[in-house]
Structure 1
Amino acid sequence: MAVVSVSMPDELLARIDQFAEEHGYTGRSEVIREASRNLLGEFEDARLEDRDLMGIVTVTFDYETTSVEERMIHLRHEHEELVASNFHSHVGDHYCMELFVLEGSLEDISTFVGKIRATRDALTVDYSVTPVDSFDPIGTSE
């Protein structure tokens, strides 16, 4: 098995160590391997391939880190064919929330979410993906 070196903030490393201990992992490497497998498998759901999808992505960040907001604006314009709607809101005393409604393919939504996750100083990134071709209009179900 290969050994890799990864840089991360001390606080994150402490959380990983605590998680490993609380959940019976043999160590941080096992936690990182499982997290990596889960991340890589997120968008490999064959049931979503070749379907029209809607994605909802929410991002939170400290409003004083303007680089995150600038990156969100850039991504919105870079993926304007994918972004159906975008909403920005202030949350609490020091935070902003950016919400994106996406319409497109699994590959395009996956790429967008990956770019959001790679944005430095984003505090949280949450998303959901739903096939829009499976909605049953009112009154047509049996």
Structure 2
Amino acid sequence: MDLDDRVFATIIVISEFDRHDIDKKLSKLRHGFNLLVLEDIHRHVEEKYCVEIFHAEGKNSEITNLIGRIRGIKGIYQLKYAIISLT
């Protein structure tokens, strides 16, 4: 997949429930990438974790940048993603 290819991505982020600072950082990041992020779903799991699911569409390079920025947030427990080429 080339960096200019159009892609669709699902990005799953898990953080601890009581880390409200992470929620704020993810929200700020989502707004910064509002042209890419189609949807953001927030759920609580087992009263211990927050799960954030992003659906995004754009250039592979832009999606990769978004994933890197999320990965850079300190305190994230897990980050998993799937990228599918649209070209």
TM-score interval, smaller chain: over 0.9
Aligned partner of 1:119 among 53, 63, 73: 73
Alignment of 1:102-141 (within 5 A): 102-133=56-87
More contact order relative to length (CA 8 Å, sep ≥ 6): 2
Q: Displacement, 1:93?
A: 2.0
Q: Displacement, 1:48?
A: 3.5
Q: Alignment identity in percent?
A: 24
Residue 49 of structure 2 corresponds to residue 91 of structure 1: no
Q: Displacement, 1:92?
A: 1.1
State the secondary structure of the residue aligned to 1:123.
Answer: strand
Aligned partner of 2:5 among 51, 54, 63: 51
TM, length-normalised to structure 2: 0.94
Residue 30 of structure 2 corresponds to residue 76 of structure 1: yes
In angstroms, what is the RMSD of aligned CA positions? Answer: 1.0
Answer whether contact 2:17 2:47 (CA < 8 A) is retained: no
Gaps (5+ residues) in structure 2? none
Q: Displacement, 1:55?
A: 0.9
Q: Give the total of aligned pairs.
A: 87
What is the distance in 1 between the residues matched to 2:3 and 2:24? 31
**1:70-127 C-alpha deviation (Å, 9 max, x unpaired):** 0110011000001011100011121110000010011101110001001011100001
What is aligned with 1:63?
A: 17
What is the distance in 2 between the residues matched to 1:112 and 1:86? 13
TM, length-normalised to structure 1: 0.59
State the secondary structure of the residue aligned to 1:74.
Answer: helix
Gaps (5+ residues) in structure 1? 1-46, 134-142
Report the AA paired with residue 86 of structure 1: D
